[in-house]
């Protein structure tokens, strides 16, 4: 019990006396507050426990046995030091000291509020301390729970993608999430408390606008949502924000502040601006740009597309791509373009559009497939460009190209003909010169062989006459007759002369063949014997027909028909015969039984000449190119590739005939030449040569 010398006090309003002893005993026995009295030892060097009330026994401190003990003896040094410090503070200040203490009990942690009251003796010296304790565990646990709830709430709003803040009625910030603190240039949320927009790095006009908007929302007690506004942030970043401001209310329903939720739409705003620019470009482009769903119905069609198809913007979404094209093109797009674009991402090609006039417009066409993040197709976009001018230019260019190709081909053929003509002319001149030079001495020899034969016969007759007249020759004559072998000379000399005559005749025939082949004076149409031209060509090639060390002789089978003289270009026909026969001889190289069959016949006023060999034949690939200029199967330097091309031109163009061939691998080749027997412009005065 507390010992005190306080005097009696009286109740002012009824004059009754109050017994202080009973008052103090009532306080001491209050079960809601634990109390104890400590004696101050040596001015606070230590403290002694004097008494504990009954309520103190429920405290986690074990008070049993503490009465009479010093503080330094009662508890652990750490707890003693903490209590000693608080007790001394009460003595030094002479004031009530209140502090809280966390104590562990059997049921868990508890929190207590300790109040220290200094008690003075009659001299005014503090000689005792009254310690009052109250259990604040429930309150403290509620505060801890509230703080934890605040922390969780703060964590929640800190993790939200939106920026959040709240202000009081004076537009002072009372809280925010970490995202807003960062934008405002603060390290922590606590730094934001109590600040206004004018304390933050916004421009003044921005702060004025923010505060005015706050007051408007609070005055109207009505939220404003998605307010689009620019903001210069702490990092000097120009941002675009979408802000929603909602009034906050107290317990009585009065507006107490404002809640702000901000979304940074800078990228979205830029994307919108970029989309607007792209849309402006798409609307301005002359190309047709469209977007369709997976079924081919348009979701978007730019102005160029609306104009070319004659539809309004409101009709676009009812417009199917099949209405823009013919059935074939629609099938192409639906069956090929869209599936390919869906599979590979893009299809490109050419298609046809049908405009409002029903005209078919050629276009270059690109189809793109746009997919979701999961890879599923969402929609298709297409770009179409009118290529009518390009197509017309391509047709013109194609025609010009074809004309150039024909001109080049004709130039090559002409050049080849000139070269071939020069070669034939040179060959003809050489052959004619040789024939002329050979012809004169051969004619001289041939013409003298007949008189020589007569002279030899006369001399032999004279010798016989001498033998009859002088049957007994002199020894010298007899010796000469024996040495000369007159009987052998008499028998062999006529044979020798006849052989020389036959040789000169053969030379004269060869010279005639050379002259017939060259025919330098017959560049115009002439009526000639075709057989002579063929035979003359064979004479020229006779050295290649004979056997050599590697090949046997080539058998020439002539199946000449009864044909009339033909009006033609003799030298050019001889050139054709030369090309075909030379190729046949080349093909028969190393063949075991080489043979060339030459057949002539007439039918329906046409002359047909066939030259066949039993060589290896030609493959289909060679046959397809045999009359192409500069195509040759011979080694480099052994053929120009122009022989068959020129032969084809001579027969078809110069003579209006047909130049055909058949060939079978392993069986041989046959060339068939058919020309009219008479030409329309043949020189009527031409005589057979």
Mean pLDDT, rounded, for 469-490: 79
Mean pLDDT, rounded, for 652-667: 90
Residue 91 in tokens:
């003595």
Q: What is the pLDDT of residue 612?
A: 94
Residue 444 pLDDT > 60: yes
Residue 306 in tokens:
């609306």
User: Where residue 447 falls among pLDDT bands split at 50, 70, 90?
Assistant: confident
User: Where residue 10 falls among pLDDT bands split at 50, 70, 90?
Assistant: very low
In angstroms, the CA 603 to CA 519 distance is 27
Element (H, E) at 24: helix 20-28
Residue 544 pLDDT > 50: yes
Mean pLDDT, rounded, for 27-45: 88
Q: What is the pLDDT of residue 304?
A: 79
Burial class (CB in 10 A: 0-12, 13-18, 19+), 456: middle
Residue 518 pLDDT > 60: no
Q: What is the pLDDT of residue 8?
A: 42
What length is written for the chain? 689
Mean pLDDT, rounded, for 509-514: 63
Mean pLDDT, rounded, for 437-458: 76
- DSSP conformation letters of 346-368: EEEEEEEEE-TTS-EEEEEEEEE
End-to-end CA distance of the chain: 172
Q: What is the pLDDT of residue 686?
A: 45
CA triple 300-304-305, angle to 5 deg: 50
Burial class (CB in 10 A: 0-12, 13-18, 19+), 602: middle
Residue 505 pLDDT > 50: yes
CA proximity to 572, closest of 428, 378, 372, 402: 428
Is the pTM of the predicted complex or chain greater than 0.75? no
In angstroms, the CA 319 to CA 312 distance is 10
User: Where residue 548 falls among pLDDT bands split at 50, 70, 90?
Assistant: confident
Residues 73, 92 contacting (CB under 8 angstroms): no
Average pLDDT taken over every residue of the chain: 81
Mean pLDDT, rounded, for 90-116: 88
Mean pLDDT, rounded, for 254-259: 93
Tens-place pLDDT, residues 188-207? 888 999 999 999 988 899 89
Q: What is the pLDDT of residue 521?
A: 45
Residues 617, 667 contacting (CB under 8 angstroms): yes
Least confident segment among 169-178, 268-277, 383-392 = 268-277
Beta strands in 121-269 (DSSP E): 126-135, 163-168, 173-176, 224-232, 238-249, 255-264
Mean pLDDT, rounded, for 275-297: 80
Residues 248, 165 contacting (CB under 8 angstroms): no
User: Where residue 94 falls among pLDDT bands split at 50, 70, 90?
Assistant: very high
* Residues contacting residue 564 through CB under 8 Å, at least 6 positions apart: 602, 677
Q: What is the pLDDT of residue 3?
A: 43
Q: What is the pLDDT of residue 477?
A: 80
Residue 522 pLDDT > 70: no
Determine what percent of the chain is predicted with pLDDT higher than 90.
Answer: 23
* Residues contacting residue 621 through CB under 8 Å, at least 6 positions apart: none
Give the rounded distance of the alpha carbon of 430 from its chain centre: 65
**CA distance to 289, 363, 559, per residue, from 279 (Å):** 10, 22, 85
Least confident segment among 337-341, 410-414, 574-578, 581-585 = 410-414
Q: Looking at the DSSP assignment, which residues form a beta bridge with residue 613?
A: 596, 669
Determine what percent of the chain is predicted with pLDDT higher than 70.
Answer: 85
CA proximity to 165, closest of 207, 196, 209, 199: 196
Residue 548 in tokens:
């050599």
Tens-place pLDDT, residues 342-398? 888 898 888 887 776 777 888 888 888 888 888 888 888 888 888 888 888 888 888
Q: What is the pLDDT of residue 506?
A: 66
Q: Looking at the DSSP assignment, which residues form a beta bridge with residue 263?
A: 242
Helix spans in 366-485 (H): 388-469, 475-484
Q: What is the pLDDT of residue 520?
A: 45
Q: What is the pLDDT of residue 131?
A: 92
Q: Looking at the DSSP assignment, which residues form a beta bridge with residue 521?
A: none
Q: What is the pLDDT of residue 312?
A: 79
Q: What is the pLDDT of residue 222?
A: 93
Q: What is the pLDDT of residue 587?
A: 87
Residue 428 pLDDT > 70: no
Residues 352, 363 contacting (CB under 8 angstroms): yes
Selected residue with higher pLDDT from 549 and 371? 371
In angstroms, the CA 593 to CA 605 distance is 36
Q: What is the pLDDT of residue 421?
A: 55
Q: What is the pLDDT of residue 246?
A: 92
User: Where residue 208 falls among pLDDT bands split at 50, 70, 90?
Assistant: very high
Residue 296 pLDDT > 50: yes
Q: What is the pLDDT of residue 613?
A: 93
In angstroms, the CA 523 to CA 656 distance is 17
Q: What is the pLDDT of residue 572?
A: 84
Tens-place pLDDT, residues 589-643? 888 889 999 999 998 889 999 999 999 998 988 888 887 766 777 765 555 566 7
Q: What is the pLDDT of residue 119?
A: 94
Residue 115 in tokens:
């109040």
Mean pLDDT, rounded, for 245-274: 85
């Amino acid at each position: 019990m507390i010992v005190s010398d306080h005097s009696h006090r009286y109740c002012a309003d009824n004059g009754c006396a109050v017994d202080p002893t009973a008052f103090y005993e009532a306080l001491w026995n209050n079960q809601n507050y634990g109390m104890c009295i400590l004696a101050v030892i040596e001015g606070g060097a230590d403290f002694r426990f004097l008494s504990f009330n009954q309520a103190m026994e429920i405290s986690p401190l074990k008070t049993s046995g503490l009465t009479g003990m010093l503080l330094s003896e009662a508890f652990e040094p750490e707890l003693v030091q903490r209590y000693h410090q608080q007790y001394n503070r009460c003595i030094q200040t002479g004031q009530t000291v209140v502090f809280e203490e966390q104590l562990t009990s059997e049921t868990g942690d508890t929190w207590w509020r300790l109040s220290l009251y200094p008690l003075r003796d009659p001299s005014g010296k503090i000689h005792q301390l009254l310690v009052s304790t109250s259990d604040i565990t429930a309150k403290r646990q509620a505060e801890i729970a509230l703080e934890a709830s605040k922390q969780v709430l703060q964590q929640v709003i800190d993790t939200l993608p939106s920026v959040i803040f709240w202000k009081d009625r004076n537009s002072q910030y009372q809280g925010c999430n970490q995202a807003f603190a960062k934008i405002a240039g603060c390290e922590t949320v606590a730094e934001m408390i109590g600040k206004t927009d004018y304390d933050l790095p916004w421009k003044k006009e921005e702060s004025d606008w923010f505060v005015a908007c706050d007051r408007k929302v609070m005055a109207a007690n009505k939220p404003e949502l998605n307010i689009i506004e620019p903001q210069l942030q702490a990092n000097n970043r120009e941002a675009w924000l979408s802000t929603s401001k909602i009034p906050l209310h107290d317990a009585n329903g009065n507006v107490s502040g404002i809640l702000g939720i901000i979304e940074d739409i800078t990228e979205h705003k830029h994307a919108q601006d970029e989309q607007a620019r792209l849309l402006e470009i798409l609307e301005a482009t002359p190309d047709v740009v469209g977007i369709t769903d997976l079924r081919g119905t348009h979701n978007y069609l730019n102005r160029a597309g609306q104009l070319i198809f004659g539809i309004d913007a409101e009709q676009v979404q009812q417009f199917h791509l099949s209405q823009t094209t013919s059935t074939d093109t629609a099938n192409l797009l639906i069956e090929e373009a869209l599936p390919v674009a869906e599979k590979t991402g893009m299809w490109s090609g050419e298609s046809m559009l049908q405009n409002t006039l029903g005209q078919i417009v050629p276009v270059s066409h690109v189809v793109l497939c746009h997919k979701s993040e999961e890879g599923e197709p969402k929609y298709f976009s297409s770009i179409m460009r009118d290529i009518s001018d390009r197509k017309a230019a391509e047709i013109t260019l194609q025609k010009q190209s074809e004309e150039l190709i024909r001109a080049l081909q004709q130039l090559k053929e002409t050049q080849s003909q000139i070269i071939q003509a020069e070669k034939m002319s040179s060959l003809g001149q050489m052959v004619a010169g040789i024939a002329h030079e050979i012809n004169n001495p051969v004619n001289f020899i041939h013409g003298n062989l007949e008189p020589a034969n007569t002279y030899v016969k006369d001399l032999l007759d004279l010798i016989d006459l001498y033998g009859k007249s002088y049957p007994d020759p002199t020894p010298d004559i007899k010796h000469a007759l024996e040495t000369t072998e007159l009987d052998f000379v008499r028998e062999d000399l006529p044979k020798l002369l006849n052989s020389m005559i036959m040789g000169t005749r053969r030379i004269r025939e060869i010279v005639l063949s050379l002259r017939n082949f060259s025919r330098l004076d017959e560049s115009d149409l002439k009526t000639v014997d075709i057989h002579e031209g063929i035979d003359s060509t064979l004479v020229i090639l006779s050295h290649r027909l004979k056997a050599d060390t590697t090949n046997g002789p080539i058998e020439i089978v002539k199946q000449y028909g009864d044909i009339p003289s033909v009006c033609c270009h003799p030298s050019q026909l001889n050139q054709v015969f030369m090309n075909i026969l030379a190729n046949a001889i080349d093909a028969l190289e190393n063949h075991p039984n080489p043979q060339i069959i030459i057949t002539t016949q007439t039918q329906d006023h046409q002359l047909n000449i066939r030259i066949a060999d039993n060589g290896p034949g030609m493959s289909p690939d060679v046959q397809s190119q045999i009359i192409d200029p500069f195509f040759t199967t011979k080694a480099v330097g052994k053929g120009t590739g122009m022989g068959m091309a020129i032969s084809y031109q001579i027969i078809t163009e110069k003579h209006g005939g047909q130049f055909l061939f058949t060939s079978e691998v392993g069986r041989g080749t046959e060339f068939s030449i058919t020309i009219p027997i008479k030409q329309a412009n043949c020189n009527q005065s031409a005589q057979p040569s």
